[in-house]
Amino acid sequence: MSWQRRILLSLVLLAFSCGFYKALSRPAAASFKMQATVPVKVASARYETHFASSKLFTQVHAASSIELKDGRIRAFWFSGSREGAKDVAIHSAVFDPATGQWSAESIAATREQTQSTLHRYIAKLGNPIVGRMSDGRLRMYYVAVSLGGWAGSSITTMTSSDEGATWSAPRRLITSPFMNISTLVKGAPILYGDGTIGLPVYHEFISKFGEMLHLSQEGVVLDKQRLAGGGQGTLQPVVLIQSERQAKVLMRYSSATGPHRVVAVSTQDAGVHWSAPEKTALRNPDAAVTGVTLPDGRMLAVLNDQELGRDTLSLMLSQDGGVTWRAVQLLEDQQSASLQADEAHFIKNAAQLIGKSGAASHSRLESSVESARRTVCHDGHCRYEFSYPYLIRTSGGDFHLVYTWNRTFIKHVWFNLAWLDQRAVEVDHALH
């Protein structure tokens, strides 16, 4: 082994040793802060779909959303000529439930802005996530890469005091003693009872594993815990809080070893200790998953309920704390269309799908279909993709889901508890 490789290996071992020591010496965690709710009024079932993004002839991906103080929903995603391109920026739009309309897109962060403020070269941006701090401000976390692929990422953060209309200057989170690289974010942050923040993240350099960062309100890393060991192929953890002390984390499974299932860990002491990773009953084709917990203890998850491909998207329900799951709604299903996905068939099919979700005029519909065709059709074959779902439950009890629709649009699904309960009963009747 050359001396250069020995030095590199020594640095890697030192970094992991520091992380291991920090995990062993971590401070006791506070309780989880439960989501505030208001009494839900009796309402008729609601299920609506929209497109949150509006820009055409661009690729979009990795959406997230948050409820604003006035009840509107603000979504974020990255948009550019392709994933990883230098022109990718973090975009945002606002949905008004009173009108059922999304606003025009705005830009929350650019590569050039991030690079100028951080005084370091930035090659690409991705995965914007926003949470609300205990003082009421919003804090955004997004991925920035200076060298290499996504494994060379670090997390950049900004704050907003006006509900996402403007943002502070970006700065880096220091999450690793080894060059501060290979920490990525995808899942929603959580709050602890003492006002500090839990940020689910993941590591991709050399080995893949989920982690939990414990942050101060100022964005300083107080602690870091592994949620799974290296080599177990766990990515993009999502925290489902069950009580002030209990939570379950669902993670994407990224390994060649089957069966391909979502991996879960749980805690009974607000994150002081986590259980060993176990595969759940949820199928997973190495793709992102999202979920929330209802006030009555039921859990919802959204994912590609298949072992290969991303041409379906399903809403899953668990009534036993995530032990068993059943599908309550097939949100997208293009498995049959994928078998005959030549361009002519795709154009006809995409026109019908897009028309149902908000293309207002014939000319707009034609442009939307052409935008999708350019993105997903290559050499006469078209590939459907519905991925990276992100689900939230509002204080009023409604649910808002955003996800990537064929890398062309960010699609939005809005449903309420009355619809969910109705679907659960219908599925039970169908099964029995």
81-90 per-position pLDDT tens digit:
999 899 999 9
Q: Give the CA distances from residue 408 to residues 83, 333, 344, in Å, rounded to whole numbers and listed in that order.
A: 12, 17, 18
Helix, strand, coil share of the chain (percent; to 5): 20, 40, 40
The residue-averaged pLDDT of 332-340 equals: 89
Give the integer Cα–Cα distance in Å for 8 and 64. Answer: 37
Q: Which CATH number fits domain 52-298: 3.20.20.140, 2.102.10.10, 2.120.10.10, 3.40.50.261?
A: 2.120.10.10
> What mean pLDDT comes out for the span 136-144?
97
Tokens 């805690």 locate to: 267
371 φ, ψ to 5°?
-60, -45
Cβ of 21: how many Cβ atoms within 10 Å? 10
Q: Distances in Å between the alpha carbon of 55 and those of 37, 94, 110, 358?
A: 34, 14, 16, 13
Whole-prediction pTM:
0.92
Q: Rounded to an integer, what distance in angstroms lies between the CA atom of residue 405 and that of residue 410?
A: 6
- pLDDT band at residue 47, thresholds of 50, 70 and 90? very high
Per-residue pLDDT, 69: 97
What pLDDT was estimated at residue 20? 40
How would residue 230 be classed by pLDDT, with cut points 50, 70 and 90? confident
State the pLDDT confidence band at 402, using cuts at 50, 70 and 90. Answer: very high
Q: What is the pLDDT of residue 361?
A: 67
* Cα–chain center distance at 100: 23
Q: What is the pLDDT of residue 24?
A: 38
Cα separation, 134 vs 398, whole angstroms: 22
pLDDT at 11: 47
Give how far Cα 74 sits from Cα of 163, 201, 284, 305, 338, Å. 8, 22, 28, 27, 32
DSSP string, 263-297: EEEEESSTTSS-PPPEEEEEE-SS---EEEE-TTS
pLDDT score, position 23: 43
Tokens of 80: 């550019």
Q: How many other β-carbons are positioned within 10 Å of the β-carbon of residue 22?
A: 15
pLDDT of residue 15: 47
Cα-flanking dihedrals φ and ψ of residue 151, to 5°? -65, -15
- Share the mean pLDDT of the chain: 90
pLDDT at 106 over 90: yes
Is the previous residue joined to 259 through a cis bond, with omega within 30 degrees of 0?
A: yes
Helices and strands, number each (H, E), in the chain? 6, 28
When pLDDT is averaged across residues 160-183 and rounded to a whole number, the result is: 90
Tell me the mean pLDDT in the region 139-151: 90
Per-residue pLDDT band for 359 (boundaries 50, 70, 90) equals: low
Q: How confident is the model at residue 285 (pLDDT cuts 50, 70, 90)?
A: very high
**H or E, element range at 416:** none
What contacts 178, CB < 8 A, 6 or more positions away?
A: 11, 12, 14, 15, 16
> Which pLDDT band, with edges at 50, 70 and 90, does 103 fall under?
very high
Confidence check: pLDDT of 62 > 70: yes
Is the CB of residue 182 less than 8 Å from the CB of residue 151? yes
CB distance 428 to 420 below 8 Å = no
Strands 386-393 and 184-185: unpaired
Whether the predicted pLDDT of 22 surpasses 70: no
**Residue 48 CB partners (closer than 8 Å, separation 6+):** 100, 413, 414, 415
Q: Given this model, what pLDDT does residue 21 score?
A: 40
| pLDDT tens column, 191-226 | 999 999 999 999 988 889 999 999 998 889 999 999
**Residues in the chain, total:** 432
15 versus 172: the higher-pLDDT residue is 172
How does residue 360 score in pLDDT terms, banded at 50, 70 and 90? low
Instruction: For residues 412 and 400, give the distance between their C-alpha atoms in angstroms, rounded to a whole number.
Output: 7
| pLDDT for residue 79 is more than 90 | yes
